[in-house]
Amino acid sequence: MEIKNHIGRLIILVNDFDEALNFYEKNFSAKVLVDYTTTEGQRFLHIGFDTADAIGIWFLKGDGERIGNQTAGEPTFVMYTNTLDALYQKLLKNGVKIKLKPVYADTYSFFHCYDLYGNEIIITELKNTVS
């Protein structure tokens, strides 16, 4: 039997679930995959970017010190897109803080931005190199 693995979700610590959801919906077209609150009041909010799978981001309520700094200043995750320039312009229009403007190479392009809490996101577009 072949073992197959895949990422299910990454975790982002947030101050406010709805504020975080609004940011990712507005800027990255995220969709709610799961939004559940236990009888004890603990909320589980899982968002995704393609409802065909469950890969996405799980928001967890964090303490103030670690929110936006859970990777000690390193990028939090890489997001792939097929419309780098259009997404870059959308984020600029929405006032998203950009760390690194687009860099263009033969097989890929990328830029770095921050989410509403200061988590660094690398946005990457891979170019079709079939010859």
> pLDDT (tens digit, 9 = 90+) per residue, 45-76?
999 987 667 789 999 999 888 899 999 989 99
Spatial separation of the C-alpha atoms in residues 42 and 34, rounded to whole Å = 13
Specify the CATH number for 9-126; select among 1.10.150.120, 3.90.1010.10, 3.10.180.10, 3.90.70.10.
Answer: 3.10.180.10
Residue-level pLDDT at 3: 84
Surface-to-core class of residue 40, CB atoms within 10 Å of its CB (0-12 exposed, 13-18 middle, 19+ buried): exposed
Scan for tokens 């103030």, then name that residue.
64
Report which of 46, 28, 31, 55 is spatially closest to residue 122, judged by C-alpha positions.
28
DSSP H/E element including 88: helix 84-93
Looking at per-residue pLDDT, the higher value among 65 and 88 belongs to: 88
Closest CA to 75 of 50, 111, 49, 102: 111
Q: What is the pLDDT of residue 6?
A: 72
Paired tokens of 92: 């600029």
Predicted model pTM? 0.89
Tell how strand 9-14 and strand 56-61 pair up.
parallel
Domain boundaries, the chain: 9-126
Q: Is 92 helix (H, G, I), strand (E, B) or coil?
A: helix
